[in-house]
Structures are given as C-alpha cells and as structure tokens.
Amino acid sequence: MSNLELSASGVNREILVIGSGFAAQQLIKSLRKLDAHQPIRLITADSGDEYNKPDLSHVVSRGCSAAAMTRQSGSEFAEQQRITLVPHCPVLGIDPARRTVLTAQGEFAYGQLVLATGASALRPPIPGAEQLVTLNSQQEYAAVEERLQHAQRILVLGAGLIGCELAMDMASSGRQVTLVDLASSPLSALLPAMLSHPLHQALQAQGVKLQLGLGIRDIAALDPQQPGTGCRVTLSDGQVSEQDLVISAIGLKPNTQLAQAAGLSVGRGIQVDAGLRSSDPHIYALGDCAEWQGQLLPFLQPILLGANALAKTLLGAPTALTLPPMLVKVKTPLYPLQLAGRTRGEDLTWQCHWNQQGLVAEARGENGELCGFVVGGDQMSAAFPLLRQLPR
C-alpha cells in the first residue's frame, strides 16, 4: 500500500490515525468491522503493541512485568486488522491545507486524519520534579520496572482514582506506602468526604500512611552521582522522609501540541463537535486528547462509544456521540467503589444506607430526582439497578 490511496475520482481515501493507545486501536477495530477494505494507516512513536492500560494500577499485586502486559504486538495487530503500520515514527507536524502529515520517516497524505494522541501524566512544578516517575503507559512502566521491584518505601502523590488504586496495590505486598494529596479526603474530585471515608479507613488498615491536606515542597536525590537510588522528600508542612520511589498520580494533560501547531481549536483538549470533528473538517480527535462538549473523558466507555460513532462518520454516515450514564469503577479491592451520574455539588441531598461492609448512597436533586449514586464494599450489586434509574 502506498502512502497515497486514491479513489477512482482521484480523491485520497486513506484514513490516517496518529497514536497507538486504546483509542486508536478501538477505532481501527470499529472501522474494520464496518469496512473490510478501507485503507487505514496508523503512525505511532512506539511499537504499536496492544496492552490493557488499566492493569498499570495493579502490576505489583499481579506480579506482572511490562513485557507480559503485551496482548498483541504491533505487527500482529496490523496484520490482523489489515492496516499499514508505521511504528517508531514521531510525527513532526500537520499541514491541514495540503492534508499531509510530516514525520521522521517522510510525508504522508491523508483523506481524513484522526488524532488519538492521548494524554501525559502531570508533574507538579516543584524543585526536583525530575525525580518523580509516572506510570501512564507500558513504556513508562518498563522504564522504572526494576526500581519498582526493589522499592520498599514508595510515596504516591495524588489521592484520586489512580493514586488510591496504586497505593493499595503497592501496600498489598507489604511495602511502606505514603499517599499525599492537597485535598482533605481521598477521591475529592469524585466524592464528598463522608462517602470516601470507608476507603480512607481501608487504606489505613492496609498500612498506607495518608498525608492529606499537604503537597510536596521539593525532592532531592539521596545520591546525585547514582540516579534512581532514592530521594529525600520535603512536604509542604516541613516533614522530611526518604523514599525509594516517588510516583506522580495527580492527573493527565491532553497531548494537544500537534493540533495547536496545526492551527486547530484547542482548550483543555482538542476541541471537537458532537461528531468528534475538530475545527478542521478533515481532522478528528478521539480519546484522552479530545475535549467533547467542554468535557475531558479519560475513561474506557466513552472511548469505546466514541470509536463506534466516529467509525461510522469516517465511512460516510455522520454519527454524533451520545453518552448514557456511565459507571466509574474504583478498583481498590479492600473497599471497591462504583459511582455514576452527578456526585459533587452543594445542591445535592444524599440518602445513605450503611452497614459494616458497604454503602449505598443516592444523590437527589432539588425536586427529589435521582442525580447520581455511589455504592461501595459488599453493596456493588446495587449499581446497575440505580444506573437504570438515572436520567438519560
């Protein structure tokens, strides 16, 4: 297949996808289900291997190596899906006027372009931030795998969904884990403090030291001559500790540099319409890099639904993305949680049913309507009946 697939009328038909994560691969699978012959090219800066990203929060308890996470190699994926894969090929720029992509391996023309460039883990702007490690991809995990295996003292910065999962997973092997967050309770962006309290207790019961209402002032290498041998961490209240590893889990920043340089509309992410089309009529965005209806949606279900809708659009049947109420799962085995709908807001009234092992909490609006819910512990089976009651 050449880098210029033309229809009988001389129009370039090739769909070019930039990225190799879950969004890119799901889109290609969706396209292939609908059309066995559509020319598709995938350009990626890495190998294009397929792996399950949520497993990164549980690598310690599962004893999973970075290499073992690979479900299918990039070349196997390309052969199975009958696409052209261009691996290890950084994209340098996009020329929307000429509908071409400039890469380290030359220039590629496209009929339609999909940006699935993902998001990068955030690092706080503090002295010594280069000492922080992130676990946002298989490649990042591979880079610190040996250090993680030997680390006994681990500090996790960020008590959100990923931070809580990582802390509980790493404490499960008997390591000394400290969880630090500026907020006064875990999962503060998702839940009121009273509803995350059982998770707080479960983390403490496992030995996790929670340092809430605090940030990191600075980090310094214990031995500057030997990188990776540990660091000294000073918290915002002056506490000092020595850690073998410090992990940043404070959130993600969409990778928008290519889009911005190409003149596309960018806010927090690459801004797209209901059909995931960017401000350029031939360029779309999907996954963690996209901003849809003012929202960033870094979860698997929106990506799956977005891939299905976008595949139809790219093949000539314009389809808007619509999202039903969706479950968010917090995979913390000692006290798992599931939530959906609106779970933050001063206008919400909570109706809570507790027992020693779990909770069911319903968020009601001013007119008594169900707006959202949280279930935890042994009450997880209550999630789906409540999900069906949420307005669509």
Q: Is pLDDT of 8 > 50? A: no
230: left (phi over 0), alpha (psi -120 to 50) or beta: left
Residue 138 has which token pair?
């298989």
52-98 pLDDT, tens digit per residue, is 999 999 998 899 999 999 999 999 999 999 999 999 999 999 999 99
User: Two tokens at 59?
Assistant: 């690598």
Q: What is the pLDDT of residues 223-260, one digit of tens each?
A: 887 777 899 999 999 999 999 999 999 999 999 999 99
- Tens digits of residue pLDDT in 269-296: 999 999 999 999 999 999 999 999 999 9
User: C-alpha angle with apex 92: 257 to 269, nearest 5 degrees?
Assistant: 20
CA distance 97 to 108: 13
Cross-strand partners of 295: 292
Instruction: Examine the pLDDT at 10 and tell me if it is beyond 70.
Output: no
On the question of pLDDT at 160 being above 70, the answer is yes
Q: What is the mean pLDDT of residues 25-46?
A: 97
Which neighbouring-strand residues pair with 246? 155
* Whether the Cβ atoms of residue 85 and residue 42 lie closer than 8 Å to each other: yes
Q: In degrees rounded to 5, what are phi and psi of residue 149? A: -60, -35
In 3D, which of 101, 106, 85 has the Cα closest to residue 258? Answer: 101
pLDDT digits (tens, 9 = 90+) for 325-384: 999 999 999 999 999 999 999 999 999 999 889 999 999 999 999 999 999 999 999 999
By CB neighbour count within 10 A (0-12 exposed, 13-18 middle, 19+ buried), where does 121 fall? Answer: buried
| Residues 89-137: tens digit of each pLDDT | 999 999 999 999 999 899 999 999 999 999 999 999 999 999 999 999 9
How far apart are the C-alpha atoms of 66 and 373, rounded to whole Å?
A: 35
What is the rounded distance in angstroms from the CA atom of residue 35 to the CA atom of residue 28?
Answer: 10
Pairing mode of beta strands 231-235, 240-243: antiparallel
Average pLDDT over residues 167-175: 95
Pairing relationship of beta strands 112-115 and 245-248 according to DSSP bridges: unpaired
Mean pLDDT of the chain: 94
Cβ(69)–Cβ(43) under 8 Å? no
Q: Does residue 368 contact residue 328 with C-beta atoms inside 8 Å? A: no
Question: Would you put residue 146 in left (φ > 0), alpha (ψ -120 to 50) or beta?
Answer: alpha
The number of helices, as runs of H, and strands, as runs of E, in the chain is 9, 27
Residue 29 has pLDDT above 70, yes or no: yes
Report the share of the chain in percent with pLDDT over 90.
91
What's residue 47's pLDDT? 93
- pLDDT tens sequence across 193-209: 999 999 999 999 999 99
Residue 165, pLDDT > 80, answer: yes
**Which run of H or of E encompasses 361?**
strand 358-364
How far is Cα 41 from Cα 215, in angstroms, rounded to an integer? 44
For residue 3, pLDDT over 70 is answered with no
**9 pLDDT higher than 80:** no
Cα–Cα distance for residue pair 269/364, rounded to 1 Å:
31
Which pTM does this prediction carry?
0.92
Q: Given this model, what pLDDT does residue 355 score?
A: 87
Distance of CA 109 to the CA centre of its chain: 29
pLDDT in the model for residue 7: 46
